[in-house]
DNA sequence: CATAGAAAAATTGGATCCAATATACAATCG
DNA sequence: CGATTGTATATTGGATCCAATTTTTCTATG
């Protein structure tokens, strides 16, 4: 018997849907840090019971996106300046290595894809989309590293600080600079210079971290 | 009225207890990879309902220690040779950096603690304890890095491959070598040579990875 | 005896209900 | 009037029950 190849991914469970929705809302900054997350309220929003909501919240807590206290509930986790600095330092280390490993494997297709995301980033005017496109650009290069575990950690660390990064990109004029740095990274990749791409990626992340720090220090006083 | 200050930490929930117990069993290799984990069976072992068990399993899945399929249940995750290699490579990167950051902060107390764990590792004859003592030794140095996020990732990556490492230490004679490498790392730390400690840590992890690879390739055929 | 199909058992995800505890607010007492 | 105590409400963690689906077992048939 012949049949079309169908993506038979298991339909997402309710807990999966809630988890993804809350994760997205947190990393995009739609849920402010410190905001209360009531199980019942979330359950009603999705028209489900609290059971899958609890499961979703438990997962979010494992990833450090929320904190929970018995009888008190969950709140969106806030990060101190020191914690944010540490995560940027970590990202610089990991992502510099990931792109170093990726460069030898980058083919024409991957480079073209990265080019499209790079251009899209420069053209985009909606602040809410910068974060997404920024991820797409970096991931399109990182994927060639063929290191799923590294990528999982890249994603996890970026998830934690993405909302701050997005806020900074929106409130300051960090976008043109990020765009230029993207161009330089992509050029190094196109020339097959792994060391240069690695150094530029590291600097790109540390620069963004420093900008964010000054932004936050002044915002938080 | 005077009274003693008491640690009023919230008693762990049932889900926490199950999570920690299963995590320990998996990383210590008491649960073999591929082994089925039935919610009902686990619930009965702990005399609780399936609800907290499900929550614990959901968390374990987030950490990559098990995989689940609807209507089929959970199995202890097995890692391919490539996945294990990648995790060792990742650990080498992270832990080399962590110890570099730690060395300047190591005080007399931390060094003495590390020395005790180092000696205990050499003296220990029970294979089941090597993994634990190995962790204690490395963590006692890493903690001085004052990088909680790095340490979280160190723990998470070590969790995934610890059972293979323990098996290899038990079945081959990798312990004396690891002991010598620990000595060298500790000596570099005592001399305040961060770069050397970093290089030695990196080599220590990569060496262990290579030993494990040859062990596994021959074991798996 | 081998095999296809039906029935039974096993197993998970989710809904509803209950117990435990924190918080907010009213009642009481000095 | 302020402080303290009691009570009602809000909220979470867990138990029990139900629905959906897979796996296994049994049975009928060629």
CATH number for the domain spanning B38: value is: 1.10.10.10
What's the pLDDT band for A101 if we cut at 50, 70, 90?
A: very high
pLDDT interval class at B59 (50, 70, 90): very high
Question: Is A12 an interface residue toward B (CB < 8 Å)?
Answer: no
Q: Out of A70, A86, A148, whose CB is closest to B149?
A: A86
Of chain B residues 161-220, which have a CB less than 8 A from chain A? none
Q: Assign B83 a pLDDT band (cuts: 50, 70, 90).
A: very high
Clarify whether residues A119 and A206 are in a common domain: yes
The per-residue pLDDT for A172 is: 84
Contacts of A149 (CB under 8 A, 6+ apart): B83, B86, B87, B90, B157
Tell me the mean pLDDT in the region B184-195. 98
pLDDT tier, A171 (very low <50, low <70, confident <90, very high otherwise): confident
Residue B188 lies in a domain: yes
- Pick from A55, A86, A89: CB nearest B55: A55
Mean pLDDT (whole number) for B119-137: 92
CB-CB under 8 Å, B150 with A13: no
Percent of chain B with pLDDT over 70: 95
| Mean pLDDT for the stretch of residues A53-76 | 95
> What is the average pLDDT across A79-105?
98
Domain boundary residue among B61, B76, B91?
A: B76
Q: Which of B55, B89, B149 sits opposite A54 (nearest CB)?
A: B55
Q: Residue B167: what pLDDT?
A: 87
Whether the per-residue pLDDT at A8 is higher than 50: the answer is: no
pLDDT band at B2 (very low <50, low <70, confident <90, very high): very low
Contacts of B33 (CB under 8 A, 6+ apart): B75, B76, B77, B78, B79, B163
Q: Write down the pLDDT at residue A162.
A: 95
Judged by a CB distance cut-off of 8 A, whether residue B125 touches chain A is no
Strand C close to A54 by CB, under 7 A: no
Average pLDDT on A205-215 reads 94
Q: How far is the CA of A75 from the C1' of C22 (A)?
A: 16
Q: Is residue A114 part of a domain?
A: yes
- Using one digit for the tens of pLDDT, what is the confidence trace for A136-152? 999 999 999 999 999 99
- Report pLDDT digits (tens) over B100-123: 999 999 999 999 999 999 999 999
Q: How confident is the model at residue B9 (pLDDT cuts 50, 70, 90)?
A: very low
Residue A70 tokens read as 């018995």
User: What is the rounded average pLDDT of the residues B63-87?
Assistant: 95
Residue B8, domain member (yes or no): no
Asked if residue B50 has pLDDT above 80, the reply is yes
Of B76, B106, B126, the residue at which a domain comes to its end is B76
Quote the number of domains for chain B: 2
Residue A95 located in a structural domain: yes
**Which strand C nucleotides have any atom less than 7 A from protein CB atoms?**
10-17, 20-23
Same domain, B37 and B102: no
pLDDT in tens, B17-49: 999 999 999 999 999 999 999 999 999 999 999
Task: Say whether both A88 and A33 belong to one domain.
Answer: no
Pairwise CB contact (< 8 Å): A149 & B87: yes
> Residue A97 pLDDT > 80, yes or no?
yes
d(CA B207, CA B5): 47
Q: Is the ipTM value over 0.90, yes or no?
A: yes
Is the CB of B99 inside 8 Å of chain A's CB atoms?
A: no
Same domain for A133 and A47: no
User: Above pLDDT 90, what percent of chain A?
Assistant: 86
**Is A213 found in the same domain as A189?**
yes
Cβ of B220 near strand C (distance < 7 A) = no
Instruction: Give the pLDDT confidence score for residue B11 in this predicted structure.
Output: 56
Give the number of residues written for chain B. Answer: 221
Please indicate, yes or no, whether residues A68 and A91 belong to a single structural domain of this protein: no
B87: domain range? 81-220
The answer to the question of residue B178 being in a domain is: yes
Are residues B154 and B184 part of one domain? yes
Mean pLDDT of B177-198: 97
Task: Return phi, psi of residue A67, to 5°.
Answer: -125, 145
CB contact under 8 A, B93 and A90: no
Q: Mean pLDDT, to the nearest integer, of A163-182?
A: 89
Helix (H, G, I), strand (E, B) or coil at B36: strand
Among A63, A70, A148, beta carbon nearest to B62: A63
When pLDDT is cut at 50, 70 and 90, the band that residue B10 belongs to is very low
> Domain boundary at B76, B98, B130, which?
B76
Contact B93, A97 (CB under 8 A): yes
Contact list, A93 vs chain B (CB under 8 Å):
93-94, 97
A5 occurs within a structural domain:
no
Following CA atoms B207, B210, B212, B216 in sequence, which dihedral angle do they give, to the nearest 10 degrees?
A: -170
Q: Quick one: average pLDDT of B54-70?
A: 96
pLDDT the model gives residue A127: 82
Residues A49 and A132 in one domain: no
Q: How far is the CA of B165 from the C1' of C26 (A)?
A: 63
Q: Is A7 among the domain residues?
A: no
**In the structure, what pLDDT confidence band is assigned to residue B172 with cuts at 50, 70 and 90?**
confident
B59 contacts in chain A (CB < 8 Å): 58-59, 62
**Which structure tokens are listed for B101?**
């950051």
Within 33-52 of B, beta carbons closer than 8 Å to A belong to 51
CB of B97 within 8 Å of a chain A CB? The answer is yes
Hey, is A106 helix, strand or coil?
coil
A105 compared with B1, residue with greater pLDDT? A105
CA B66 to chain A, closest CA, distance in angstroms equals 14
- The whole-number average pLDDT for the span A18-33 is 95
Say whether both B95 and B161 belong to one domain. Answer: yes
A55 plus A113 within the same structural domain: no
* Confidence at A173, pLDDT banded by 50, 70, 90: confident
Provide the pLDDT for residue B196.
98
Proximity of residue B155 CB to strand C below 7 A: no
Q: What's B197's domain CATH number? A: 1.20.120.530
Are both A132 and A176 inside the same structural domain? yes
Question: Do A141 and A70 fall within a single domain?
Answer: no
Q: What is the DSSP letter of B182?
A: H
- A148-171 and A194-220 helices, crossing angle to 10°: 50
Considering only CA atoms, name the residue closest to the C1' of nucleotide D20.
B71
Whether residues B93 and A97 touch (CB distance < 8 A) is answered with: yes
Contact A83 B148 (CB under 8 A): yes
Residue A1 lies in a domain: no
Amino acid A11: pLDDT:
56
């Amino acid at each position: 018997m012949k049949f079309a190849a169908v993506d038979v991914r298991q339909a997402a469970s309710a807990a999966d849907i809630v988890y993804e929705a809350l994760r997205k809302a947190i990393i995009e900054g739609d849920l402010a840090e410190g905001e209360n997350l009531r199980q019942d309220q979330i359950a009603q929003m999705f028209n489900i019971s609290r059971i899958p909501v609890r499961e979703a919240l438990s997962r979010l807590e494992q990833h450090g996106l929320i904190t929970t206290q018995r009888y008190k509930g969950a709140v969106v986790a806030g990060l101190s300046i020191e914690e944010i600095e540490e995560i940027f330092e970590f990202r610089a280390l990991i992502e510099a290595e990931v792109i170093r490993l990726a460069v030898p494997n980058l083919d024409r297709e991957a480079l073209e894809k990265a080019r499209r995301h790079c251009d899209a980033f420069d053209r985009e005017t909606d602040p809410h989309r910068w974060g997404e496109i920024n991820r797409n650009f970096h991931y399109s290069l990182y994927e060639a590293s063929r290191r799923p575990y590294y990528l999982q950690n890249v994603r996890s660390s970026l998830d934690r600080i993405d909302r701050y990064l997005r806020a900074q990109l929106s409130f300051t004029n960090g976008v043109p600079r990020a765009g230029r740095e993207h161009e330089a990274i992509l050029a190094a990749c196109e020339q097959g210079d792994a060391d240069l791409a690695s150094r530029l990626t590291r600097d790109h992340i540390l620069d963004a971290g420093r900008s964010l720090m000054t932004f936050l220090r002044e915002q938080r006083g």
